[in-house]
Amino acid sequence: MITLVRPPVIFPAMAVGNEATPCIGLAYIAGYLRDHGYDPFIIDGMVDALNEVWPLKKYPGFQCQGLRFSEIIDRIPKETKIIGIRSMFSGEWPVVRDLIFEIKKHFPNVIIVAGGEHITAMTEYSLRDCNVIDYCVIGEGERAFYHLCDALFKGNEIKKINALAYLDRNGEYYQTSSVTRINNINQIPWPYWPDGYLEKFWDAGKSFGIQTARDMPMMITRGCPYECTFCSNPFMYTRKYVVRDIDDIISEIKYYIKKYDITGIQLYDLTAVVKRDWMIELLRAVIDNKINVNWQFPSGTRSEALDKEVLELLKQVGTGYICYAPESGSGRSLRKMKKKIDLDKMTKSIHNAKKLGLTVRANIIIGFPFETRKDILKSIWYALKLTAKGVDDIQPYIYSPYPGTELFNELVNDGSIIVNDEYFFSLIGLNSDLTNFKPLVFTKNINAWELAIYRLLFTLFAYGISYLLKPSRFVRTMKNLYSKDNAETVFEARLKGIIHRKDVDKVGGPQRINH
């Protein structure tokens, strides 16, 4: 038997936004395995304890949301031979590592396989830091993990499988190949969602973007063709961007409407809107097939393809929410980070989206290593102008040096980053706790506290402007905070998450393993 595990979510005690969402990565892997004759058992460390929060006693100041380690271990079938564990975010690595060690104690003979963006970016480090991991899958997981499982069960040679890494008997690091992309993504089976799984997220009101009653996670593309220096995409997916067949997308949506009676589609793509003609063709197919659901683009997207015609079609098919990613208001910073966008066109697209009545979020990052105070103030001024234009959600994030990015490698090479648990936890606490006035920063001209002050004051000012200009939003927010099915901005969704959290130490939750 194969068991797939998603660890609980980790966040600082003062965090305001770390919501759990359905795990589409494990769902895709499960679907691929089932299509090839296996029946994996899925343990999502979130789904059965979506609002339960417990302290990490080993790491003061941090909490977990979801199942405790002991509860995850109790759910692993005794006959399990292979356990696949998801490790996406580097900030969570110390806790994921501890969970893996704990699993190995209880299942000493199982083969443990780790995958995800963190594992891909720091493969050898992860293997040495957690030496009970037998294999790491690099990049897209479906094909490599299936071939590995098949080889292990049938006794086939492991070295012939692409995108695997492990330590040999002598402790030497071995990697079979670099990241290899799945060229024809239309041959990847649809995600497999166990019975009752999605309903638990819907009943608890969890969502990636804004919330409707029954939001369905989907991906219609894979990868990103751009090379932003702060993004790990080139390491995880290379720069290859692939779109799905439109008929296959429409068929999947119709299946979800029939089976789940979905009310919305939330796209988990890195950047769904790149190819303008393909997007127009998809949206017209949605119209022709009379598909009536709310569409959301919660991942930051670019504006090149989001002209007036595309935005009008997005509105016509029922798009309720779109997130733009200008990242900076400084032309100098955009050039340094290789963002390659036209800020004027981005602003025009955002303005047109608001005129059409879409809920809009904009991502802004401050504190890049190369930035001056002037660059940062330009970004804040640009963000304030977007707020005045009606952008619903906007908050400046302090730059996070994630493994697998060009900037991260530069900072490691010049000694600015020492990779250890303190560094990992600094990532997860960097932008979820607005009261942290000593964040990890790498700007040479600006202190950490100054950046933190900019972030806090802007956040308060931006949302203050938003609610002052439209007082009806306050009434709407208060109403939505106590509604099971609705949240019209990410800000509202995250506030709802805070309200519904339960400290299981106070309500008698399991106490067997204290981490």
pLDDT of 462-510, one tens digit each? 777 767 767 777 666 676 666 665 666 666 565 655 555 555 554 333 3
Residue with tokens 């692939």: 242
Look at residue 515 and tell me whether its pLDDT is greater than 50. Answer: no
Q: Report the candidate in 472, 467, 470 with the shortest Cα–Cα distance to residue 491.
A: 467
The rounded percent of the chain whose pLDDT value lies above 90 is 62
Place of tokens 């751009």: 226
Q: Strand pairing partners for 279?
A: none
Among 176, 168, 70, CA closest to 510: 70
The pLDDT score that the predictor gives to residue 471 is 72
Check if the beta carbon of residue 182 is closer than 8 Å to that of residue 147: no
Q: Alpha helices of 76-173 — where are they, by DSSP H? A: 93-106, 117-121, 123-129, 142-154
Q: Which residues contact 488 (CB under 8 A, 6 or more apart)?
A: 210, 320, 359, 392, 476, 480
Average pLDDT over residues 284-309: 90
pLDDT digits (tens, 9 = 90+) for 247-276: 999 999 999 999 999 999 999 998 888 899
Please state, in angstroms and rounded to a whole number, the distance separating the CA atoms of residues 316 and 286.
Answer: 10
First CA to last CA across the chain, in angstroms? 28
Q: Where are the beta strands (DSSP E) in 342-412?
A: 359-366, 393-398
Give residue 417's Cα distance to chain centre: 23
Q: What is the pLDDT of residue 510?
A: 36
Digit-coded pLDDT (tens) for 327-346: 999 999 999 999 988 999 99
Say if pTM beats, i.e. exceeds, 0.85. Answer: yes
pLDDT at residue number 438: 85
| Tokens representing residue 178 in the block | 């670099």
Which residues are bridge partners to 174 per DSSP?
166
Burial class (CB in 10 A: 0-12, 13-18, 19+), 119: buried
Mean pLDDT of the chain, nearest integer: 88
Q: What is d(CA 453, CA 440) in angstroms, rounded to the nearest whole number?
A: 14
Per-residue pLDDT tens digits for 42-99: 999 999 888 888 888 899 888 888 999 999 999 999 999 999 999 998 999 999 999 9
Give the Cα separation of 388 and 207 in Å (integer): 27
For residue 164, what are its two tokens?
Answer: 């695997």
CA distances from residue 27 to 188, 252, 306 in whole angstroms, order as listed: 12, 14, 30
Instruction: Work out the pLDDT band at 107, boundaries 50, 70, 90.
Output: very high
State the average pLDDT over residues 404-431: 91
32 or 182: which leads in pLDDT = 32
